[in-house]
A and B are shown apart, each in its own frame.
Chain A
Amino acid sequence: MFGTLTGLPGSLFDDLGRLQRELDEAFGRWPYSAELRSPGVGSWPPVNVGATPGRVDVYLFAPGLDPNELEISIQQNLLTIAGQRRIDRGDEAGWYRAERFSGEFRRALTLPEDVDPDNVEASYRDGILHVTVQRRESAQPRRITVR
C-alpha cells in the first residue's frame, strides 16, 4: 500500500533521492566549500561570484535593503559585507507565512589573490548588491612566444 509516494513505479528512496537532487539543484551545493569563513548552505542573502581576467564581480541577492546601512569593507583579498533587514511582523494575528529573512547578516568572501583593494565599487539595484573588484595588471595572461 505504501510502495510509493506518487503512485508511479519506484521505491520510496527513489522519491527521496529525486527530492534531494532537486533541492540541491535549486540551492546550489556546488562548489562544496570548506573555507573557514563560508556560511552554511542556505544562508541569507545568497551570493554569486564571477570573474574575468580583469575583475571579480560579487552579487548579493538581497531585496529590501537600505544601501546606506550596508558595511562593505575589503582587507587585501577578503571582502566583507554586513547589513541587516528588519521586518516588523508586529503582534497582529493573521501571519500565514513569514519566510522572508529578517535580521543581521555578514558575508566574508575570500576573493582571488590578485584583486586590488583600492579599486572596489558597489551598486544596489532592484535588490541586487553588485560589488566589482578590479584585478591587478600582472594577472592578465601574457602571451609567450616560442623562439
Chain B
Amino acid sequence: MNTEVKTRTPDAAARRETPSLRPAVDIVEDAEGVTLIADMPGVDKERLHVRVDANTLQIEGEAQVDLPEGAEALYADVRTTRFSRGFTLSNELEPDKIDAQLRNGVLTLRIPKHPEQRPRKIEVRTA
C-alpha cells in the first residue's frame, strides 16, 4: 500500500480529468481518534493510494475488474473504475500516525488524536 506524507500532488489537476466515484464512507470518532471506513470494491494494495498532509486526507484507488477479451456491456451500474475522495483534517489529529487496513475492498483508516488534545471532562461547579 502506498502511504505518502507530502503536500499537494502536482498531477492533481490531471487526475481530476478522469471521472471518479466518491466511495461511501462511515466515519466515527471516539476519545482516542477517528475511524474512517470506505467501500472500494476491486481495489487491492497496489492500486490504493492514501495521501495525507497536515490538513487533508485523500483516498484514491483503481478498481480492477477481470473482463474477458471483447466483452460487450449488457448492463452497467458502475461506469468508472476510479475512486477518489478527500477530507479535511482538524488539528488535533495526527495524520503521520495513520493506520490503514484493506480487506475485501474495505479500507479502514485509523487516525489518532494528539494525546494532549484528547477531550477532557469539564466539571461543572455549582455555587
Q: What is A's interface to B at a CB cutoff of 8 Å?
A: 25-28, 30-31, 33, 45-52, 55-57, 59, 61-65, 87, 89, 92, 94-101, 109, 112, 124, 126-128, 130
Q: How far is the CA of A95 from the CA of B26 in the complex (A)?
A: 8
B45 to chain A: closest residue by CB: A126
Among A30, A45, A50, the one with the most B-chain Cβ atoms within 10 Å of its Cβ is: A50
Enumerate chain B residues within 8 angstroms of A62, measured Cβ to Cβ. Answer: 41
Among B72, B79, B105, which residue has its beta carbon within 8 angstroms of that of A128? B105
The answer to whether B24 and A100 have CB atoms under 8 Å apart is yes
Task: Tell me which residues from 47 to 67 in chain B have a Cβ below 8 Å from any Cβ of chain A.
Answer: 63-67
The answer to whether B74 and A50 have CB atoms under 8 Å apart is yes
Given A57-B68, A99-B26, 16 more contacts at CB 8 Å?
Answer: A25-B79, A48-B65, A48-B75, A48-B78, A50-B67, A50-B72, A50-B74, A61-B78, A64-B39, A64-B103, A89-B28, A99-B25, A100-B24, A126-B63, A127-B105, A127-B106
B70 at interface (Cβ–Cβ under 8 A)?
yes
Q: How far is the CA of A27 from the CA of B40 in the complex (A)?
A: 15
Among A47, A51, A89, A101, the one with the most B-chain Cβ atoms within 10 Å of its Cβ is: A51
The answer to whether A128 and B65 have CB atoms under 8 Å apart is yes
The answer to whether A128 and B68 have CB atoms under 8 Å apart is no
Enumerate chain B residues within 8 angstroms of A96, measured Cβ to Cβ. Answer: 27-29
Q: How far is the CA of A95 from the CA of B34 in the complex (A)?
A: 10
Q: How far is the CA of A124 from the CA of B66 in the complex (A)?
A: 11
The answer to whether B30 and A52 have CB atoms under 8 Å apart is no
The answer to whether A51 and B71 have CB atoms under 8 Å apart is yes
B22 to chain A: closest residue by CB: A26
Among B37, B68, B76, which residue has its beta carbon within 8 angstroms of that of A28? B76
Enumerate chain B residues within 8 angstroms of A127, measured Cβ to Cβ. Answer: 39-43, 104-106
Q: How far is the CA of A61 from the CA of B28 in the complex (A)?
A: 24
A59 to chain B: closest residue by CB: B65
B11 at interface (Cβ–Cβ under 8 A)?
no
The answer to whether A47 and B77 have CB atoms under 8 Å apart is yes
The answer to whether B19 and A126 have CB atoms under 8 Å apart is no
Q: Using an 8 Å CB-CB cutoff, how does the interface string of B1-39 with A read, 1 for contact, 0 for none?
A: 000000000000000000101001111111000000101
The answer to whether B41 and A26 have CB atoms under 8 Å apart is no
B107 → A minimal CB distance (Å): 9
B101 → A minimal CB distance (Å): 12
The answer to whether A126 and B39 have CB atoms under 8 Å apart is no
